[in-house]
Amino acid sequence: MPPRDEPDRPWRAEGVKNRPEKKTDKADGGGGGGGGFRPSRNMMIFWLLLLLVFALSYTSMNIAGQKERADIPYTAFTQQVSAGNVKDVYTKGLEIQGKLKQAQQVPGQDDKKKTYTDFKTLRPEFANDNIYGEMVSKGVVVEAKPVTESRGLLANLLLSLLPTLLFVGLWIGAMIWIQRRMTGGGRGGGMLGGFGRSPKPVTPDEKRATFADVAGIDEVEAELEDVVDFLRDPDKYRRMGARAPRGVLLTGSPGTGKTLLARAVAGEADVPFYSAAASEFIEMVVGVGAARVRELFTEARKTAPSIIFIDEIDTIGRTRSSSASMGGHDEREQTLNQILTEMDGFSGSEGVVVIAATNRPDILDPALLRPGRFDRQITVSPPDLDGRVEILKVHVRDVPLAPEVDLTELAKMTPGMTGAELANLVNEAALMAVKRGHTATDNADFHTALEKIQLGTRRSLVMPEEERRRTSFHESGHALLGMLYPGADPVRKITIVPHGRALGVTVSTPESDRYAYDEKYLRGRIIGALGGMAAEELVFGVITTGAESDLQQVTQIARGMVGRWGMSVRIGPLSVLPPDGGDPMGQYASQGTLDAVDEEARRIVDECYQEALRTLSDNHDKLDALATALLEAETLDEVGAYAAAGVPRSSGQPALTGGPTTSENGSGAGTGSGTTTT
C-alpha cells in the first residue's frame, strides 16, 4: 500500500495517471475550488501580516535611530565646558544633551576603554552659575530643542494598536485552521499555500497487484470478473442498458485476502485505486468525516473509471440508533449518511465502484446493504487444501526451497489457515533458515516455524520430575482417546516441552478439510479434550489446574451443541445462544430456557467424561506405554506416538511426520478445523 505523505488526507491513491491539472484563479493566489469568500480572506490575512511586519519594522527603526548617550553628572559637564571640550548642546527644560569634541572616559568607570562623546545630564535647580555665558565664551552651539523629534500620528497609532492587531491576526489564523480541519481543507491554499490534499499519483511503473497475485479463492475472483470487465469497457454495458454494481461488500475472517482482492481488481482493470480505513474518517470534531467522504468521492469521479476501497467499514457502518446521539456516535452517523448519499448519487455510468471489507457483516446498517449501494456481497472464506497449495506457491516465489519440501504435505498440515497466516508461516520458515545458516529453506525450518506459530515459543523451564510425569500422563490421555475413539481427528504430535503458557501440547487435525460437524464428531472432541483430566484422576487420583483451557473448549462445544445447533432433545431445534458469544437475553430466550441449556450442556459433558474414564481404564497399559515413551523423548510425532501406544493407524492416508498442526479451538463450522489440547 503506498504511504500517506499527508497525514490529514485519510486515503491513499494508487495508479492515478495523466490526471488533468486544476485551473487556478489569479485573484485568489491559486486557491481554487473554495468559493468566493475563501480567496479574499486569504488575501486579507496576507496584507494584514504585511501591515504588522511594517509596523514592527518602523518601530524598530525609530528605536534604533535613537543614539545611546552616556548619563554623566552635572559637575562632569561643567568641567568639560571649562576645558572647552563641548561642541554643542540641546536643552529642554533642565535636561541637557550634547556632544563632546574629544571622547572622554565615562565618569565612575574603571575601564578606560569605556569612553563617550554623546552625553546627557540634568542641571540642578539650585545651581547658581553662569553656565550659559561660559558656554558662549567657549564657542559652544546652544539650541533649545529636543534632540529626538516626536513620532508622527501614524507611528503612534500603529504602536498603540500593535497588541490588538497581533491578537486579531492570531485569532483569525486559528479560526481558519479550525475551519479547514472541519471542512477537509481547500484544494489550493493561495498565497498561504500548503493546504492542497489531492491524492498523490503512484508512478506508472510501480508494480500493481493482479489476479496472478491472488490464489486459493477462485470462486471469489469469478464474482469480481464482472467488475473488472465493466471498468475495462463500460461502453459495452451502457449500450445494453446495464450498469455495473455500484458497490461490492467483501466479508470474511481477517487475513483471507479482502484488501488484496480489491487491489487486484484495480490492477487487473488498470484503473486508479483509492483506499482508506473507515476509522481514518472519524475525528472528534463533528462534520470532518462527512467532508472527507465528499472529497474522496469527488477525487474518484475526476479520475473515473476508478475504485474506492473502504476497509473495516463496520467502524462507521454500524446500525444507526433511534435514540439521540452525541459526540463520536453523531460523527459516525453523519459519516455513514454521507457515504449513503454519495453512493446514491452515482448514475451508474460514472465508472466509480466502491469495494468495502468487513468481518462483521451482521452489524451493518440495512440501508448500506440494500441494492443500489452494495449490490453484491461476497464471502471470502479460508482456503481449502488446493487453495492453500496455490497460496503457498505464491508466497515461496522468492524463497529458495530445499528439494525435499512438498507444498502439498505442508498444506495438509495447515487446515484452517488463511492466506495471511500462510504468508507468515513462509516468512518465519525463511527467518529460521537464515538463523541456522541454511542456503535453502527445508522441512525442518517449516516444521519449527509451524510449531512456533501454533504452539508458541519454547520455554527453557525446568520442571520437577513429578510435574513432568503428571504432564506426560495428561497429554497421553488426550492422545490415546484421539487414537481410540471412532471418528476422532488423528494425533499429529505430542510434546511435554513447555510452549508459551502451556506445559504440554497435543495436536490433532483431520485427514481432510471439514465443512460441517455431526454430533458424534463433536462428542469425540469433548471426550478427547477431557482425556487429560481423566488420565490425572485415573493415575494420580487428583485434578490439577492444567485442564483449564481444556474445560473452556469443552464448555464452548457443549453449549453450542445445545443452544445453537439443536443437538439436544430437551431444547430442540432452537437457536438460543448468539453465535458471537454475546448476551443470550438478546435472543429473547427466557431464563428457564437458559437454565435448561446449562443443564443439558452439563449432562453432555458428564457423559463424555465418564466415557473418557472408561476408555482410559480399559486401555491402561497403552496409556502407561505412551506416557513412558513421552517422558523419554519429550516430543513424539504421529508415527512415534501411534507406535508407542501400540495402536494401529486406521486411515489409509500417509502419516504426516515431523510437523505440528493446529486450527481454530472453537467448534463452529469452518474449513479444516482441528484441535489443540494442552
Q: What is the pLDDT of residue 193?
A: 34
DSSP assignments along 214-279, one per residue: --S-HHHHHHHHHHHHHHH-HHHHHHTT----SEEEEEESTTSSHHHHHHHHHHHHT--EEEEEGG
**Sign (positive/negative) of CA torsion 434, 436, 437, 443?**
negative
- Where does residue 71 fall: left (phi above 0), alpha (psi -120 to 50 degrees), or beta otherwise? beta
Tell me the residue ranges of DSSP E strands in 35-136: 70-71, 86-92, 95-105, 115-122
What single-letter amino acid sits at 145? K
Contacts of 160 (CB under 8 A, 6+ apart): none
Question: Across the chain, which distance is largest between two alpha carbons, in Å?
Answer: 139
Q: Which residues participate in catalysis according to the annotation? A: 475
CA separation for the pair 276, 293 (Å, rounded): 10
CA distance to 309, 313, 337, 359, 360, per residue, from 319 (Å)? 20, 12, 11, 15, 12
What single-letter amino acid sits at 14? E
CA separation for the pair 187, 30 (Å, rounded): 9
CA 678 to chain centre: 33
CA separation for the pair 192, 30 (Å, rounded): 10
The one-character DSSP state at 545 is: G
Q: What is the pLDDT of residue 55?
A: 60
Please tell me the chain's helix, strand, coil percentages from 3-state DSSP, rounded to the nearest 5. Answer: 50, 15, 40
DSSP run (H or E) holding 57: helix 37-65
The one-character DSSP state at 93 is: T
Q: What is the pLDDT of residue 534?
A: 92
- Please count the helices (runs of H) and the strands (runs of E) in the chain: 21, 15
Contact 446, 429 (CB under 8 A): yes
CA separation for the pair 664, 8 (Å, rounded): 39
Contact 118, 67 (CB under 8 A): yes
C-alpha grid cell, residue 521: 464428531
Q: Which domains does the chain have, with CATH numbers?
A: 12-16+201-380 (3.40.50.300), 26-62+153-192 (no CATH), 67-143 (3.30.720.210), 387-453 (1.10.8.60), 465-677 (1.20.58.760)
What are the phi and psi torsion angles at 127 (to 5°)? -65, 130
Q: What is the pLDDT of residue 317?
A: 81
Q: Consecutive sets of 10 residues in the chain, 678 residues long: mean pLDDT of each? A: 50 55 40 41 60 60 59 86 86 83 81 81 82 83 66 67 71 70 45 37 55 77 81 81 81 84 82 80 66 83 84 82 54 80 67 85 84 84 86 89 88 84 91 91 88 76 81 90 82 82 79 79 90 91 86 92 90 82 64 89 94 92 91 86 84 37 32 50
What single-letter amino acid sits at 657? T
Residues in a beta bridge with 88: 99, 141
What single-letter amino acid sits at 668? G
Contact 646, 624 (CB under 8 A): no
By C-alpha distance, which of 77, 83, 45, 299 is closest to 175?
45
Q: How many C-beta atoms surround the C-beta of residue 139 within 10 A?
A: 10
Q: What is the pLDDT of residue 654?
A: 36
DSSP run (H or E) holding 284: none
Contact 225, 387 (CB under 8 A): no
Burial of 118 (0-12, 13-18, 19+ CB in 10 A): middle
CA separation for the pair 295, 281 (Å, rounded): 11
DSSP assignments along 607-648, one per residue: HHHHHHHHHHHHTHHHHHHHHHHHHHHSEEEHHHHHHHHT--
Q: What is the pLDDT of residue 435?
A: 92
Contact 31, 188 (CB under 8 A): yes
C-alpha grid cell, residue 132: 550659559
* Secondary structure string (H, E, C) spanning 192-214: HCCCCCCCCCCCCCCCCCCHHHC
Q: What is the pLDDT of residue 667?
A: 31
Query: Up-side HSE of residue 250: CA atoms within 13 Å toward CB?
Result: 28
Burial of 535 (0-12, 13-18, 19+ CB in 10 A): buried
C-alpha grid cell, residue 578: 448468539
Task: Tell me the CA end-to-end span of the chain in Å, nearest whole number.
Answer: 39
